[in-house]
């Protein structure tokens, strides 16, 4: 059913224009890099000389082989990893066409390996045991810690041994609800070591969201901490877990153990509420376990993790990634996209609660034996220079972040590669990220990808290849897969075009199913355009083959890099006793990229008030999390609907962004008058 609903609610992409080229003239980049006569951004020769991919020709060779001979290309790369036993032939099998049967993507099937072994033991065996794996930077200035690869392995093994001891076995789910302490990557790796399936829930989610995920995946144990400080605020995570576990039990899922890390900088043990018999202090128990632990060898296609993400309907989707393909894909994309070298210090500002933290804080970098900065705090605490202080403190050379975090303007000498993710970079942001932060030296890797794709699919290659400067902004080239743009009917478009972004054939990092709902997987991603994986994004391709992402075409919005389904916010709003109907759309937001704009119809007779606005917003915070709180509540005596009752979101988007002269044809509405009522209430 949701397949029909989501395709029904697809937005037309033809109207979504890329930034007009006229805004991009007269770009002045660093002297060395821009020849102003021909307005070209040319690669920094020093960078090219040392890069893994030193020239556009080399990139094209690699790309061509990945498309023409994916089996050969990926198996050559995979052979550099540790496999207990090699995979069967064929290297992969896929069917991306629902009309031909079940969608069943597999890579390296029959290959026996372990991703934790490849992250830790293999790097230690290669002589990197004393290399720093994690530089941890706490919320408070001066709070920091480090772990070498040897030390990290010991911590991972202690936790792995404990989990085995309480009965966690291969294939069992473990829910991790932790902030960015070192214990978060430790917990992920410990699960992977014993073949357990981790499901990290971002520690900004509410108890209701957490409980919903617990009931869906039924973990044996929840790993959390008592509290965390984020900026000046203390958040009592354990209280949230207590409520979630009580709710889960009411819904039939009883979790026996809640392993709680005592984060005493935020809250003392004594002040932590405790459920005897269920709750265990992490530090007390783990020190009793040995610091070595045998690896559970798993099939390449055994599940590695579940990560819930928002879709077009209210229920979050449990995106499932498996072991072998994900391992090979994240490690490889990390290495090439960021030109990673063993001497680099790498910092990705994402939280491990999202896919970026899975693939590019934990697995991708650690598979490469990288030194990773893990930051617990908020980027603007104690002040907005914090990120740059961290870059200086650890001599960060690769800095990967979201455009919404491009906040303060300093250059940092240690940087050599910049990365961006989550939303299109607008040309002026690109220019200053490049010129100012990167001191006109550092290439920017703008990475387009999704929870579902496991790793990067298309990448900004500006200043890797010579380019006219009007390509600044989010213009991306294929990485190692074949993205295609299709029209409404699913016909592939050639050359300059705009349409829906799809992928034509399988890549190792692709997700394999939605937990417990393979049918939803097939209808959501493979039915709209049979034969293709459909991303949900609109895209324009220019005459030079560059992709310009134009945003989601379904009812998903991206707020500061957090993916939120409008349906989730709507169902939270209508659960409020005084709300009878709600429609949520995304609007452009200066800081967050997109903001959440909610049209709310109240139960008859209930008067509008600011208190009610606050209480509606509180309801969303409570049910989903603070990051999903609407930025604006717009009172709506009625919503614009078609005669068949479908809400016309196109019109709501125009009202929300105050493009009132672009409302288009409203004559097909069941009650055209509601539009004027909405406009009249716009600023009340």
Q: Out of 70, 316, 377, 424, point to the residue binding ligand PRX (CB under 6 A).
A: 424
CB 452 within 8 A of CB 510: yes
> What is the spatial distance between Cα 649 and Cα 646, in angstroms, rounded to a whole number?
9
Q: Which is nearer to ligand PRX, 120 or 210 (CB)?
A: 210
Q: Which is nearer to ligand PRX, 92 or 360 (CB)?
A: 360
Q: Is 554 a catalytic residue?
A: yes
Q: How is residue 8 written in tokens?
A: 């029904």
Q: Out of 209, 558, 560, 619, point to the residue binding ligand PRX (CB under 6 A).
A: 558
Q: Out of 355, 584, 624, 655, point to the residue binding ligand PRX (CB under 6 A).
A: 355
Q: How is residue 286 written in tokens?
A: 């783990």
Report, in Å, the least distance between residue 19 CB and ligand PRX.
Answer: 13
Identify the helix (H) or strand (E) that includes residue 336: helix 324-337
Report, in Å, the least distance between residue 280 CB and ligand PRX.
Answer: 32
The residue with tokens 């919903």 is: 212
Q: Which is nearer to ligand PRX, 229 or 592 (CB)?
A: 592
CA–CA–CA angle 340, 346, 352 (5° rounding): 115
Q: Is 554 in the site for ligand PRX (CB under 6 A)?
A: no
> What is the spatial distance between Cα 328 and Cα 57, in angstroms, rounded to a whole number?
24
> What is the spatial distance between Cα 93 and Cα 418, in angstroms, rounded to a whole number?
35
Output the furthest CA–CA distance in the chain (Å, rounded): 74
Region of 22-30, 207-215, 415-423, 478-486 interacting with ligand PRX (CB under 6 A): 415-423
> What is the spatial distance between Cα 402 and Cα 396, in angstroms, rounded to a whole number?
16
Q: Is 316 in the site for ligand PRX (CB under 6 A)?
A: no
Q: Is 349 in the site for ligand PRX (CB under 6 A)?
A: no
* Integer CA distances (angstroms), 85 to 108, 109, 190, 192, 299, in order: 11, 11, 22, 18, 9
Q: Residue count at the site for ligand PRX (CB under 6 A)?
A: 21
- Dihedral sign for Cα 109, 448, 527, 2, please: positive
CA end-to-end distance (rounded Å), the chain: 38
CB 565 within 8 A of CB 555: yes
Q: How many residues in the chain?
A: 684
Report, in Å, the least distance between residue 429 CB and ligand PRX.
Answer: 12
Report, in Å, the least distance between residue 447 CB and ligand PRX.
Answer: 5
Q: Which is nearer to ligand PRX, 81 or 338 (CB)?
A: 338
Q: Which is nearer to ligand PRX, 537 or 570 (CB)?
A: 537
Q: Which is nearer to ligand PRX, 51 or 479 (CB)?
A: 479
Question: Nearest-CA neighbor of 311 among 540, 515, 590?
Answer: 515
Given the residues 256, 554, 555, 665, the one annotated as active site: 554
Q: Out of 111, 443, 455, 536, point to the residue binding ligand PRX (CB under 6 A).
A: 536
Q: Is 563 in the site for ligand PRX (CB under 6 A)?
A: yes
CB environment 404-437: b (16+ within 10 A), e (fewer): bbbeeeeebeebbbbbbbbbbbebebbbebbbeb
Could you give the dihedral angle defined by the CA atoms of residues 77, 79, 85 and 86, in that order, rounded to the nearest 10 degrees? 70
Q: Out of 161, 248, 309, 362, point to the residue binding ligand PRX (CB under 6 A).
A: 309
Q: Is 317 in the site for ligand PRX (CB under 6 A)?
A: no
Region of 191-199, 208-216, 440-448, 539-547 interacting with ligand PRX (CB under 6 A): 440-448
Q: Is 421 in the site for ligand PRX (CB under 6 A)?
A: yes
> What is the spatial distance between Cα 324 and Cα 601, in angstroms, rounded to a whole number?
49
Q: Is 356 in the site for ligand PRX (CB under 6 A)?
A: yes
Region of 32-40, 364-372, 532-540, 665-673 interacting with ligand PRX (CB under 6 A): 532-540
Region of 203-211, 390-398, 441-449, 659-667 interacting with ligand PRX (CB under 6 A): 441-449
- Dihedral sign for Cα 542, 46, 443, 57, please: positive
| DSSP reduced 3-state for 529 | coil
Q: Which is nearer to ligand PRX, 317 or 641 (CB)?
A: 317
Q: Out of 434, 449, 511, 533, point to the residue binding ligand PRX (CB under 6 A).
A: 449
Q: Is 484 in the site for ligand PRX (CB under 6 A)?
A: no
Q: Out of 299, 537, 555, 570, point to the residue binding ligand PRX (CB under 6 A).
A: 537
Q: Is 427 in the site for ligand PRX (CB under 6 A)?
A: no
Q: Out of 114, 207, 226, 447, point to the residue binding ligand PRX (CB under 6 A).
A: 447
Q: Which is nearer to ligand PRX, 242 or 423 (CB)?
A: 423
> What is the spatial distance between Cα 113 and Cα 111, in angstroms, rounded to a whole number?
6
Alpha helix ranges (H) inside 443-602: 518-526, 566-574
Q: Which is nearer to ligand PRX, 325 or 422 (CB)?
A: 422
| DSSP reduced 3-state for 395 | coil
Report, in Å, the least distance between residue 213 CB and ligand PRX.
Answer: 15
| DSSP reduced 3-state for 367 | helix
Q: Out of 48, 209, 263, 474, point to the residue binding ligand PRX (CB under 6 A).
A: 474
Q: Is 531 in the site for ligand PRX (CB under 6 A)?
A: no
CB 197 within 8 A of CB 174: yes
Interface residues with ligand PRX (CB under 6 A)?
309, 355-356, 421-424, 446-451, 474, 535-537, 549, 552, 558, 563
Known catalytic residues are 554
């Amino acid at each position: 059913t949701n397949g029909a609903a989501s395709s029904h609610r697809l937005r037309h992409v033809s109207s979504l224009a890329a930034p007009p080229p006229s805004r991009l003239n007269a770009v002045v980049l660093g002297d060395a890099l821009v020849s102003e006569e021909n307005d070209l951004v040319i690669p920094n020769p020093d960078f090219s000389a040392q890069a893994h991919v030193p020239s556009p020709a080399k990139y094209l060779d690699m790309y061509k082989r990945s498309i023409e001979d994916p089996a050969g290309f990926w198996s050559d790369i995979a052979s550099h990893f540790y496999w207990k036993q090699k995979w069967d032939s064929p290297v992969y099998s896929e069917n991306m066409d629902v009309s031909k049967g079940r969608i069943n993507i597999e890579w390296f099937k029959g290959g026996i390996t372990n991703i934790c072994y490849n992250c830790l033991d293999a790097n230690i065996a290669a002589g990197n045991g004393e290399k720093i794996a994690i530089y941890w930077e706490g919320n408070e200035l001066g709070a920091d810690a480090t772990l070498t690869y040897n030390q990290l392995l010991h911590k991972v093994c202690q936790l792995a041994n404990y989990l085995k001891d309480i009965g966690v076995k291969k294939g069992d789910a473990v829910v991790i609800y932790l902030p960015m302490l070192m214990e978060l990557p430790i917990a992920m790796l410990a699960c992977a070591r014993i073949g357990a399936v981790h499901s990290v829930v971002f520690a900004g989610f509410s108890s209701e969201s957490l409980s919903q995920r617990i009931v869906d995946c039924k973990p044996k144990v929840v790993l959390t901490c008592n509290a965390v400080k984020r900026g000046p605020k203390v958040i009592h995570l354990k209280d949230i877990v207590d409520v979630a576990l009580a709710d889960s039990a009411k819904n039939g899922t009883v979790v026996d153990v809640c392993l709680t890390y005592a984060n005493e900088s935020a809250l003392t043990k004594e002040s932590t509420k405790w459920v005897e018999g269920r709750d265990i202090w992490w530090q007390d128990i783990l020190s009793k376990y040995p610091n070595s632990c045998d690896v559970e060898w798993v099939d390449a296609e055994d599940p590695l993790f579940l990560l819930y993400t928002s879709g077009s309907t209210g229920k979050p989707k449990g995106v499932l990634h498996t072991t072998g393909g994900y391992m090979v894909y994240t490690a490889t994309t990390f290495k090439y996209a960021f030109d990673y070298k063993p001497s680099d210090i790498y910092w990705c500002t994402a939280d491990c609660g999202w896919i970026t933290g899975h693939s590019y804080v934990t697995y991708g970098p650690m598979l490469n034996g990288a030194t990773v900065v893990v930051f617990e705090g908020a980027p603007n605490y104690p002040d907005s220079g914090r990120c740059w202080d961290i870059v200086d403190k650890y001599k960060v050379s690769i800095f990967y972040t979201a455009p919404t975090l491009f906040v303060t303007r300093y250059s940092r000498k240690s940087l050599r590669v910049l990365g961006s993710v989550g939303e299109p970079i607008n040309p002026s942001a690109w220019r200053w990220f490049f010129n100012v932060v990167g001191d006109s030296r550092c290439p920017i890797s703008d990475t387009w990808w999704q929870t579902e794709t496991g790793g990067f699919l298309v990448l900004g290659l500006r200043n890797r290849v010579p380019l006219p400067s009007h390509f600044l902004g989010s213009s991306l080239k294929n990485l190692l897969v074949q993205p295609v743009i299709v029209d409404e009917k699913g016909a592939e478009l050639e050359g300059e075009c705009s349409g829906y972004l799809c992928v034509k054939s399988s890549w190792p990092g692709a997700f394999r199913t939605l937990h417990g709902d393979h049918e939803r997987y097939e209808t959501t991603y493979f039915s709209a355009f049979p034969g293709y994986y459909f991303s949900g994004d609109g895209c324009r391709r220019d005459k030079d083959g560059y992709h310009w992402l134009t945003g989601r075409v379904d009812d998903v919005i991206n707020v500061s890099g957090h993916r939120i389904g409008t349906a989730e916010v709507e169902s939270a709003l209508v659960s409020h006793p005084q709300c009878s109907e709600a429609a949520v759309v995304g609007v452009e937001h200066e800081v967050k990229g997109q903001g959440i704009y909610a049209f709310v119809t109240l139960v008859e007779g209930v008067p509008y008030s600011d208190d009610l606005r606050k209480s509606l917003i509180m309801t969303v915070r409570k049910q989903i999390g603070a990051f999903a709180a609407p930025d604006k509540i717009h009172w709506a005596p009625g919503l614009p609907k078609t005669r068949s009752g479908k809400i016309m979101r196109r019109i709501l988007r125009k009202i929300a962004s105050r493009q009132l002269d672009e409302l288009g044809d409203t004559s097909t509405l069941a009650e055209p008058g509601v539009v004027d009522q909405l406009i009249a209430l716009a600023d009340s």
